[in-house]
Structure 1
Amino acid sequence: MYREVPGSVGDLGAACPPKPHPRSLSTSWRGRARVGRHCWARQDAEARFPLSTKWRGGQGVRPRRAASSERYNPAPVKPRFRPVLVLAALLAACSGARVQPPPVPAPAPPPAEAGKASFFFPVEIPLAEVRRIVEESLPPRVSDEQKQEISSALQDDYYRYALERGPVEVGFTGGLLTVSFRVRGSLTVGGKLAGLPVHETVDIAGRVRGTASPAITPDWRPDPQPTARIELDRADLQVLGAFSISVRGFLQERLNPVLDQELKRAAGRLLADLALRRKAGEAWRSLHVSRRAVKDENLWVRFQPLELSLARLTLKDGVLHTGIGIAGQLSLSLGTVVPPPAVTLLPPLRVDSEHDAERGGGFDLEAPVQASPEELSRWTDRALRGQRFRLSRDREMEITGAGLGVDGDRMVLALDFQTGGRDGRLVLRGRPAMDAGTSLLRLADLQYDLASGGPFLRLADRLHRAEILERLQKSARLDLAPLLGQAESGTAHAVQGLFPPGLHGEVRIDPVRILGLGISGGAVWARCRMTGTISPLAR
């Protein structure tokens, strides 16, 4: 619409619109004619007095008179061209109604800096395995010989006993391990009676019963609180008919403390063999992590464990159930690599309720995902390029390029497109929102602008704007299901890769849920929740 007068310098070098015929001007163009009259006057002057561009002795540019035949003499515009000029004026004045952005409301509060996540690694211990460990821990034979006053009738009193145990039976009742086994052996009591050496031996048989708590202190020490009692079939022992000894009371007084110690030692051995502390420590260290969450995507996850817990033991179908729980802070970022947290020492252990031990293994992740506009733009272009959208019954629009940015509280989606062999660019603005129960990202309060395109596209935009906006509102949805599907499989692989040695289980991911979307600090964020299950980990 504008041209530059050849050979003009200084103020005469300004760009001016061409001078139209007065009779061809519409009302709006007459206003423009008045405003630009000084430009057209300069054009007439230059037409009459063209400037030479040749330097003459350093005196600058000097004008020369033009021949009278070169003077400007405008020709009238023929009537058949008037509709073309009117259409050109319309397209120039109305190049697609520009959408004015709405007033920007107060920015939404930013999401929490870090989300939360908890992992529960279940551990199954067959009761037969516990019995084996206790069996190996308890000595097969107990014996002792001591000099001790037994009766005032004896001098140089002494006793000697030897007991052999039978197979160990192990159970679990009321949160306590129960231990039981048969014993057989003999008890000998001797000394000097009236200066003569005497001794008496009696065979004994009975059963030892005991309980031990599987409790562990906050500093990972076993706290079995054992109680063991021997129950004998034989009650009394007669020594040469001079006096009698209560075998039951005599041995209980001496054997019960010994059995308590053996049971305590067995509980410590059981805890050591289960290696719960070692496994918890390995899991704790391995979960201080920052790694790529999705293969071939610049999505990073960072987890810092803060709490450690152990579920109480429960028994079901001959199997003891417990588990290691680790909770901490979780953050995800799209486009920004975050360093792993520094590894910390094991915190004090917390023991959960019995209900926690009965739940299945799994994890619960809830965290804000913050995405830089650059990374979102790259991902959007890859997701939308080549997509086709129907604008009308007989017209489609193919996306040839896409970019995503932010403006205040709105997302700005720029789409390069082709339709009917013509190229153009649409700019869509709206607030990010998710359709309930779906993985579709849409722009609420959608507005659009035809940022570039030829006269045909601009005229179509002018005439069919309401219809195009309605079509865009229905079609401008980005299905996040492919990315979320990759996140699910990638997270399953990532969680499985976090298992320390000795903890191996199958990970299953429930569908990712997006709890909220927003824009804050020039970046787009979404708060997501992901849950999954971890199969029980048999020892």
Structure 2
Amino acid sequence: MHLNKILGSRGFLKTKWSGFPSAIGIVIGGFWMISCGGSSVTTQPKAPVEAYKYTNMQIQNEKHRSVVQVPVEISIADVTKHLNAQVQGLIYEDNSFEDGNQDNFKAKVWKRGPIVADARDSLLFYTVPLKIWAEKGYKVLGIGGSQATEFQINLKFITRFGVDADWKVNTQTASAGFDWVSKPSIKVAGVEVPITGIVSRLINENLAKISQAIDDNIRQNISIKPYVLQAWNLIREPRLLSEEYRTWLLITPTDILMSPFKIQNGKISATVGIKGFTQTYTGEKPVTKPALNIPPLIVTNDIPQGFQIGLIGTLPYEEASKLAASQFVGKTFDFKEGKYKIEVTSVDIYGQNEKLIIKAGLKGSISGVIYLKGTPFYDASTKLLSLKNVDYDLNTRSVLVKTANWLLQGRFAKQIEQQFVFPVGAQVEEAQKTIRQQLSSRKVIKGVNLSGHLEALEPDQVYLTPSAIVALIVAKGQVEVKIDGLL
């Protein structure tokens, strides 16, 4: 039988040549599969829901409790100068020879020289030099008369300083006695009669009154409240941290503590601690109205220290997506020793509560999109915003298990984690630099000096808001507002 007839009768020839296009396709497809490691898989998993726990305003309202130290000093030289200005000339007079005055004694008292003060053991010691004119009435053999005399004494006092809740300086003055500089005497019928006993008793009887008068005078004329109110409003004034990012430092004071007064190195000193909250605000300069009053004072030996503020590094999602695209788009990853290959075609980023979602477009052994998620954090050592625990979203994982399990077993997610970094340190450094400048020792207004320093930067938390990734870094240090020259 002829070969053609044999082949034709068995149907082989017809099948072979009529299926030629399919056979060619299989061969070509086989070569493509060999070169690409298998057929291309299309993935379109369900996208993770976009959701946020925090708004931008909530982040800006994140407050950090702080204490601003306000050392208050009153120079002893200023105190004595003030006392000398207040106590001048005739300071006491008693002109009574009235019935009932058994001593028949009149007196006038002048300050004869400057009051001198000294400090020892947290107490103020001072001496008031006086000149006294006294006139003593007498009767001798039924004949009455009077004799005048002058003498000098130095009155001594001890004062302990304090401050009342209403911010009035409160002193407790006690007499430390007196010294005779010259003693009094009168002549009766040509005979010198000492009257030191009578004078001593009269002085001692009036020392308590004099001490009270000193305390009343200090209380009426010395108040630190205006200066503390000045410091209070100075602290509340917004401070510009970054002109480029329009970032402001806000301090909201809440309480005032004060240590007891100490007297040392020629000064009466105490420390006021203003407790409050600090926060960082982005936008136009916040409006703060000057306070007209301050809270009552709480006196305590234990004033906490420490000033901290939150520095904000903000990375909008749009900018983050562009930065990520510049790192990944066009990059090729291979798996199973080159058996499978994918190329990243697009990157998009958004948030889901505390997780950052990465939407990656792919082509190659996989075509379509996949979703990964990771936890954003700020690395203080590198000053970079990074991701940790990057993994595939649950829906993406479910699709890949069925279609491209090799991708789950590869290092793609780990490579994304290692290379997914964004610089936000510049914003933080600028804010930190500005704060240091703001805290550098300088005179704000007469009698008020601001000083301080930052000691450490500690990452606090990374927040995901509807518009941006926000890294909050806590700057810790000390701040002092020094008040001097109260008198």
TM-score, scaled relative to structure 1: 0.62
Aligned to 1:447: 391
Q: Structure 1, unaligned stretches of length 5 or more?
A: 1-20, 25-73, 394-398, 418-423, 450-459
Q: Say how many residue pairs are matched.
A: 432
8 A contact 2:238–2:251 mirrored in 1? yes
Aligned to 1:197: 145
Q: In the alignment, is residue 327 of structure 1 matched against residue 275 of structure 2?
A: yes
- Residue 120 of structure 1 aligns to a residue in which SS? strand
8 A contact 1:368–1:525 mirrored in 2? no
Aligned to 2:341: none
CA separation of 1:415/1:289 partners in 2, compared to 1, >3 Å: closer, same or farther?
Answer: farther
Deviation at residue 446 of structure 1 after TM alignment:
0.5
Pairs within 5 Å for 1:505-520: 505-519=450-464
CA separation of 1:140/1:529 partners in 2, compared to 1, >3 Å: closer, same or farther?
Answer: farther
One-letter identity of the residue aligned with 2:252: Q
CA separation of 1:442/1:499 partners in 2, compared to 1, >3 Å: closer, same or farther?
Answer: farther
Deviation at residue 337 of structure 1 after TM alignment:
5.2
One-letter identity of the residue aligned with 2:107: Y
Deviation at residue 435 of structure 1 after TM alignment:
5.2
For residues 81 and 202 of structure 1, the distance between their equivalents in structure 2, rounded to whole angstroms, comes to 133
Q: In the alignment, is residue 282 of structure 1 matched against residue 230 of structure 2?
A: yes
CA RMSD of aligned residues (A): 5.1
For residues 406 and 217 of structure 1, the distance between their equivalents in structure 2, rounded to whole angstroms, comes to 54
For residues 369 and 434 of structure 2, the distance between their equivalents in structure 1, rounded to whole angstroms, comes to 35
Pairs within 5 Å for 1:202-221: 202-213=150-161, 215-221=162-168
- Residue 456 of structure 2 aligns to a residue in which SS? coil
Q: In the alignment, is residue 376 of structure 1 matched against residue 316 of structure 2?
A: yes
Aligned to 2:427: 483
Aligned to 1:431: 375
One-letter identity of the residue aligned with 1:253: E
For residues 23 and 470 of structure 1, the distance between their equivalents in structure 2, rounded to whole angstroms, comes to 47
CA separation of 1:291/1:100 partners in 2, compared to 1, >3 Å: closer, same or farther?
Answer: farther
Deviation at residue 280 of structure 1 after TM alignment:
2.1
8 A contact 2:359–2:372 mirrored in 1? yes
Aligned to 1:7: none
For residues 186 and 346 of structure 2, the distance between their equivalents in structure 1, rounded to whole angstroms, comes to 105
8 A contact 2:439–2:451 mirrored in 1? no
Pairs within 5 Å for 1:148-297: 148=97, 157-171=105-119, 173-174=121-122, 176=123, 178-181=124-127, 183-191=129-137, 193=139, 194-213=142-161, 215-233=162-180, 240=188, 244=195, 245-254=197-206, 256-266=208-218, 268-269=220-221, 271-272=222-223, 276-290=224-238, 292-297=240-245
Deviations 1:49-77 (A, max 9, x none): xxxxxxxxxxxxxxxxxxxxxxxxx8974
One-letter identity of the residue aligned with 1:119: V
Deviation at residue 501 of structure 1 after TM alignment:
2.4
TM-score, scaled relative to structure 2: 0.67
Deviations 1:3-28 (A, max 9, x none): xxxxxxxxxxxxxxxxxx9969xxxx
Q: 1:118 aligns with which of 64, 67, 71?
A: 67
8 A contact 1:237–1:246 mirrored in 2? no
Deviation at residue 211 of structure 1 after TM alignment:
0.9
CA separation of 1:328/1:538 partners in 2, compared to 1, >3 Å: closer, same or farther?
Answer: closer
Aligned to 1:54: none
Deviation at residue 186 of structure 1 after TM alignment:
3.5
Deviation at residue 132 of structure 1 after TM alignment:
3.5
Deviation at residue 496 of structure 1 after TM alignment:
6.9
Deviation at residue 251 of structure 1 after TM alignment:
1.8
8 A contact 2:351–2:465 mirrored in 1? no
One-letter identity of the residue aligned with 1:471: Q
CA separation of 1:318/1:203 partners in 2, compared to 1, >3 Å: closer, same or farther?
Answer: closer
Q: Structure 2, unaligned stretches of length 5 or more?
A: 1-16, 335-343, 363-367, 394-403
Aligned to 1:28: none
8 A contact 1:160–1:189 mirrored in 2? no
Higher relative contact order by CA 8 Å / sep ≥ 6: 1 or 2?
2
One-letter identity of the residue aligned with 1:120: Q
8 A contact 1:212–1:264 mirrored in 2? no
Give the share of equivalent positions with the same residue, in percent.
12
Deviations 1:80-99 (A, max 9, x none): 6334665799887425x677
For residues 220 and 128 of structure 1, the distance between their equivalents in structure 2, rounded to whole angstroms, comes to 22
